[in-house]
Structure 1
Amino acid sequence: MGGRRSGSGRERARRAVAVGLLASVVAGSGGAIARADPPPEPLTPAPPPLATIATVGAWGWFADPRAIDYRGLPVFGWVDDDGSVMVGDAGGRRFALQVRLERNDHDSPAFYVRRDGRLTAFWSGHRGASLEQRTTIGDDITAWGPVTQAPANPPGGRPGYTYPNPIRVGSRLYLFWSGSGSHATFAVSRDDGATWGPARRLFDPATPYVRYVKYRAAGDEIHLAWTLKHPRQGRSGVYHALIRDGALWRQDGRRLGTLGAPIASTAGDRVFPPRTDGGAWIHDIAIDHGRPVLVYATFPAIRDHVYRWARWDPSSRRWTEEPITAAGPAFTEDVREQRYSGGISLDPDDPTVAYLSRTIGGIHEIDRWMRTPDGWSSAPITRRSPVANVRPFPVAGGLAWMRGRYSGYQTFGTSLVWLPRGAATPIGRPPVPLGMRIDGPRQARPGDRLTVVATDGVSGRVELRFVPATAARGGRIVVAARRPLVLRGDRAVAAVPRLPAGRYRVSAWSQQRRLTWRPLDVR
């Protein structure tokens, strides 16, 4: 069923390349990496300081956590090019949880750290016949016990398992997955997965099916965010609910029903309307001081995806949501999956930070975007890449993603790479220092002058934004005025626009990045 991989000489050579590249990154080597007997699709070696975890590998974004911090090292799961379900860490250790299941990135595993410190992996085929689980014998990820199965699906609908998500709350381990009829299903274990209670559905199968769900634990609650059906089957909104005390609830405290008694798939909070911007597809959920935060892709046009961000505002007891940035088209060559956006994930420790993949110069590149009171500010992680960078996932203080050609979820040629914590960025070009200041009076009237001075690396066009200080403290970003400028030499002059009297924040922006801000009292 599984074990340490030996395989053919070609396999051994390619795995040696991955470990060798990882060792060179850890040692700080910047030399070129030679490959013996490359696969049919050419691979582009990851430039330092990127570590190559898998020379060919892919993961989906609905089986999570797909990578985890375990014993001080990030551990990753992926599907290999021969269809094996793999686990590996940044130290170079590898193990095949199941050999040659199928080449399909829907089969990537999800991980759970047991209370005794051992690691359990869950996986299945794409609508597979069973949901597998396997636990390490000790704390060595190359030594695993036997494969066992999760509980059977409830009867009804097309059989199958996909997308496991293990989550512990208190003494209970919840396992969620997409089950029979493509309906979100769950089971509960009180002994860390040794035995399971009966599987039950979350949603009423008489309502539109819910297959794509993101889950996140927070204290004694489990938050879930979902979209209806597959986006190509019709427009869907984004919905949210939470599990607490054996029941399902809306965020405002209204009870939806008892857990295990399926609710309608549209019964939760509707965060994003189903017929706005061509519908949506959920990508991630995180919790910010008790407030759920969601990110998702929307589709104003098939080649014009947009990432959006939403958060519950307890003061108004409603959801606020806003665009982050345009994402470009799908990264896959598969014409059936033209809503495969490059991918977006939230920083679980700070959900005002998102890591996302978007097209720049015709290639999917990865950025770090941060929500500020004045707007979303970006910083590059990859640039001028020869191949696409997609499906980013933060783990162990670093960032992992897929890199390379992706012709389809069964024919991928991507590698899996990891950028360690504290590594220099952006990858692909030297970091460019940017600096700017705004000179002028602290108190001003409309028409008074402000001078923007570039102190380091900024040229060309910049923008001033004026944001009311009261709006900056609230849930929404409200830009009262914008002033586009062109630097002449190292400076540009702007007049304070006509604004209602009050306190404002004025910020300077270049290339979608906030460089500085200062307070301004307008009289």
Structure 2
Amino acid sequence: MTRTINDNGAWCWFQDERALTDPGTGTLVVGSVAAPEGPGGEARAGTIELAVVDLATGGSVVVPLHERLEADDHDAPALWRRRDGRWLAVYAKHKTDDLTRWRISDTDDPRGPWGPERTYDWSERTGGAGVTYANLHELDGRLYCFARAVNDDQCALVSDDDGETWAYAGKLFTRPKVGYVNGYTRYASRPGSPDRIDVVTTDHHPRDFDNSIYHGYLADGALRRSDGSVLDPDPLHGEGLSQEGLTTVVAAGSVHGGVPVTHCWTTDVRRAADGTVAMVVTARHDTPDDPADAFERFRDVTDHRFLYARLAPGGEWEVHHLALAGPGLLPHEQDYTGLAAIDPEDLDSLYVSTPVDPRDGAGLAHHEIFHGRTADGGATWAWTAVTEDSAVDNLRPIVAPGDPENRPLLWFRGEMTASQHYRCEVVLHGA
């Protein structure tokens, strides 16, 4: 069964967690941003919202956190469950101001009320160039909020009071900027084991640079490569080092599934209880010539691939072709795809959004959701359709963490023409 839990919403994929479950109350919380094309129109456009779902009854309510902040899916909130049971939501505009914003619920009920919005102003460090994203992870008893900020590099704020107040920690990486911004980074950590944060990142934006994918992790006071060797003995206390010094997982131009892949992008990453790390990477297979007409360049990237990479403790990265991801989702963003999500408690299980059926390679009228399962570490996959014959696209799935016994599957469906313009609804499947 699939049901709508918010009739107007979407999210980007570089903030986490975008959805969380509370096993104690059976509550699911999902953050998203409303668009002008959806219900509510301009009066609701850009509102940062939470869909709060009672998983036992199926009832849901939509809670606005900030009305009409900015109509852009990059502004979706990151969520955190505090030690006192209250909820923290952190969000930022898409590089159009220098504020990281946050609110904390008054009680353990995410339906509200919520305390006032507070802000951290980055402008002294960014020079007014803006900040984007929020990613909340605990490390050694401190809560970190990773954002793209100074020089458009990955930076972090730190809190020693569970998100009540924030201070600047430093830059995680630094390098000369190429094109729009620097690396696109995803993070993974596990509740109950706050001694490590895994990091996967690119060089720059894939339209500006032929990206590789790099992995490392923060632990024992250092930024480490996949094998545990130290890249930066004192991370987040200054300018940081280049991400090129981390372990290369997928090199630009390397061959996977019998074809070379280029312009890689981070899609999802999770770490299992036994220490195994898995990620999904999106990459181009066809990279056309660079004509004068930029639109032609964007439009002609028609063959994206999903790759699955896995690292067992003490082992080496193994990378496998996962599925075809089809053409670029938007005409002006040649590297956007429907994306994929790994089950946070079962790295052998994941979901992809694609207009190409992974069972037989048949083209589909819209992006559909498929469930994949592997029994050999990702070398081969068995596929099951979650959606079929849809009238609209089904995009950007999430498997919500928080309750190991109940991991709801979410996505949004509808028509999307830009990160700022979409008529999509957030749906919950099977819970």
Length-normalised TM-score, structure 1: 0.68
Aligned partner of 1:336 among 332, 338, 344 = 332
2:338, 2:128 → 1: CA distance? 30
For residue 77 of structure 1, report the CA deviation from its aligned partner: 0.6
Aligned partner of 1:259 among 235, 239, 242 = 235
Q: Is the contact between residue 153 and residue 200 of structure 1 (CA under 8 Å) also seen in structure 2?
A: no
Q: Is the contact between residue 17 and residue 135 of structure 2 (CA under 8 Å) also seen in structure 1?
A: yes
Could you say which residue in structure 1 is the equivalent of 2:348?
352
Q: How does 1:122-521 map to 2 (within 5 A)?
A: 122-127=90-95, 128-140=97-109, 141-150=111-120, 152=122, 155-156=125-126, 159-206=129-176, 210-218=182-190, 219=193, 220-257=195-232, 258-260=234-236, 261=238, 262-276=240-254, 277-288=261-272, 289-301=274-286, 302-314=301-313, 317-332=315-330, 335-360=331-356, 361-373=364-376, 375-395=380-400, 396-421=406-431
Could you say which residue in structure 2 is the equivalent of 1:85?
48
Could you say which residue in structure 2 is the equivalent of 1:111?
79
Say whether residues 1:73 and 2:83 are aligned partners: no
Q: Is the contact between residue 58 and residue 79 of structure 1 (CA under 8 Å) also seen in structure 2?
A: yes
Q: Is the contact between residue 210 and residue 226 of structure 1 (CA under 8 Å) also seen in structure 2?
A: no
Q: Is the contact between residue 151 and residue 198 of structure 1 (CA under 8 Å) also seen in structure 2?
A: no
1:154, 1:202 → 2: CA distance? 18
Which amino acid in 2 is paired with 1:353?
Answer: S
For residue 125 of structure 1, report the CA deviation from its aligned partner: 0.8
2:76, 2:263 → 1: CA distance? 26
Q: Is the contact between residue 214 and residue 285 of structure 1 (CA under 8 Å) also seen in structure 2?
A: yes
Q: Is the contact between residue 165 and residue 215 of structure 1 (CA under 8 Å) also seen in structure 2?
A: yes
Give SS of 1:249's match. Answer: strand
Q: Is the contact between residue 158 and residue 181 of structure 1 (CA under 8 Å) also seen in structure 2?
A: no
Could you say which residue in structure 2 is the equivalent of 1:479?
none
Length-normalised TM-score, structure 2: 0.82
Which amino acid in 1 is paired with 2:375?
Answer: T
Q: How does 1:5-20 map to 2 (within 5 A)?
A: none
1:398, 1:384 → 2: CA distance? 22
Once the two structures are superposed, residues 81-121 of structure 1 have per-residue CA deviations (whole angstroms, 9 ceiling, x without a partner) of 21101112123222211111111111111100000000010
For residue 389 of structure 1, report the CA deviation from its aligned partner: 0.4
The structure that has the greater radius of gyration is 1
Give SS of 1:203's match. Answer: coil
Once the two structures are superposed, residues 350-399 of structure 1 have per-residue CA deviations (whole angstroms, 9 ceiling, x without a partner) of 11211111114231000011112371111110011111101000124221
The percentage of aligned residue pairs carrying the same residue is 31
Which amino acid in 2 is paired with 1:122?
Answer: V
Which amino acid in 1 is paired with 2:186?
Answer: K
Classify 1:326/1:154 alpha carbon distance in 2 versus 1 (closer, same or farther; 3 Å).
farther
Give SS of 1:266's match. Answer: helix
For residue 330 of structure 1, report the CA deviation from its aligned partner: 2.4
1:59, 1:319 → 2: CA distance? 29
What's the C-alpha RMSD, in Å, of the aligned pairs?
1.7
2:230, 2:121 → 1: CA distance? 28
For residue 158 of structure 1, report the CA deviation from its aligned partner: 5.6
1:240, 1:142 → 2: CA distance? 38
1:56, 1:344 → 2: CA distance? 21
Say whether residues 1:96 and 2:92 are aligned partners: no
